[in-house]
Chains A and B, each alone.
Chain A
């Protein structure tokens, strides 16, 4: 689902972002930055996502080089 650390499905792939959520998921504490429901973990709501123009990069992957 990621090419290097970039989520390959963009900003509107809500189902894929749920599927991509990993064990390192941490809900962003800032509720104003949550962009989808919190009922299921989604990379879109994760503290470690960094938005880009087209998608987001996973800073946890960047940091840990996983």
Chain B
């Protein structure tokens, strides 16, 4: 059976002080798919949504999304697993939402992407999320309590599909304190190395890699952002990546 690009996004699974996070739960789902099916999965992206007093987020209002390839039967199996797993491991007072979609079944990608942009600057309602899901042919389900996480779950898929939003979950350590860009790009986790103004650095550039690396998602690629430091390049640290 033919496999199709599949988006999976979850939101609002935690509570203040809880032992696990939305990112960890998303990673468990991703791992399950890679172990159980003959499918690879992309790194997870974290998408920052609107911070506003009228939105009942836990601490940071972000959703987590990744893509994989599944056939229709696998998608149905995975959907059941995701619903059970998120219901089981999410925090008791959390409001989880799950959104799953085949990319080729999305009716109006631009309309969906606009919803993602809106979720970064506006207070949206659950009703708007369900309306958007129906319009765009997305599977959307709330699992506990208020189910407010459906908004972020739809928005996460929208922003991932747009391809210019979010940080890659996790951080990466390189075993050497200095490496040339060509060698660093052999690492599967990094597609490009750019300055913040968008300029690609040359492959013979030397990058200081003594600290852990954080990657962002730009133009559908995993990008390491760097700044010039004398004759070398220094990866941007956490403090300089909060806008992503």
**A and B assemble together:** yes
The answer to whether A64 has its CB under 8 Å from any CB of chain B is no
Q: How far is the CA of A51 from the CA of B53 in the complex (A)?
A: 10
The answer to whether B52 has its CB under 8 Å from any CB of chain A is yes
A51 touches B16 (CB 8 A): no
Q: How far is the CA of A31 from the CA of B21 in the complex (A)?
A: 10
B94 to chain A, nearest CB (A): 14
Q: Which of B51, B170, B238, B242 has the most CB of A within 10 A?
A: B238
Supposing A11-B242, A36-B238, A53-B51 touch, asked if A31 and B16 sit within 8 A by C-beta, the answer is no
Question: Interface residues of A toward B: which range?
Answer: 20 to 34
The answer to whether A32 has its CB under 8 Å from any CB of chain B is yes
Q: How far is the CA of A52 from the CA of B54 in the complex (A)?
A: 11
Q: How far is the CA of A35 from the CA of B60 in the complex (A)?
A: 11
The answer to whether B58 has its CB under 8 Å from any CB of chain A is yes
The answer to whether A30 has its CB under 8 Å from any CB of chain B is yes
How many A-B pairs have beta carbons closer than 8 Å: the answer is 53
A54 to chain B, nearest CB (A): 9
Tally of contact residues, B, Cβ under 8 A: 25
A31 touches B60 (CB 8 A): no
Supposing A36-B239, A49-B59, A51-B60 touch, asked if A29 and B19 sit within 8 A by C-beta, the answer is yes
Tell me the dominant secondary structure on chain B's binding face.
loop
The answer to whether B198 has its CB under 8 Å from any CB of chain A is no
Chain A positions 39-61 with a Cβ under 8 Å from a chain B Cβ = 47-53, 59
B16 touches A48 (CB 8 A): yes
A34 to chain B, nearest CB (A): 6
Residue of B nearest to A30 (CB): B21
Q: Which of A26, A37, A48, A51 has the most CB of B within 10 A?
A: A51
B17 touches A48 (CB 8 A): yes
A16 to chain B, nearest CB (A): 14
Cβ contacts under 8 Å, A35 to chain B: 238-239, 242
Residue of A nearest to B50 (CB): A53
0 or 1 for each of B42-63: is its CB under 8 Å from A? (1 = yes) = 0000100001110001111110
Chain B positions 25-77 with a Cβ under 8 Å from a chain A Cβ = 46, 51-53, 57-62
0 or 1 for each of B1-36: is its CB under 8 Å from A? (1 = yes) = 000000000000000110111011000000000000
Q: How far is the CA of A39 from the CA of B60 in the complex (A)?
A: 22
Q: How far is the CA of A29 from the CA of B18 in the complex (A)?
A: 9
The 6 closest A-B pairs by CB, nearest first: A30-B21, A50-B59, A53-B51, A59-B16, A32-B23, A51-B60
> Please, could you name 5 A-B residue pairs with CB atoms under 8 Å apart, sorted by A?
A31-B170, A32-B169, A33-B21, A51-B51, A63-B16
Using CB atoms and an 8 Å cutoff, list the residues of chain B in contact with chain A. Answer: 16-17, 19-21, 23-24, 46, 51-53, 57-62, 167, 169-171, 237-239, 242
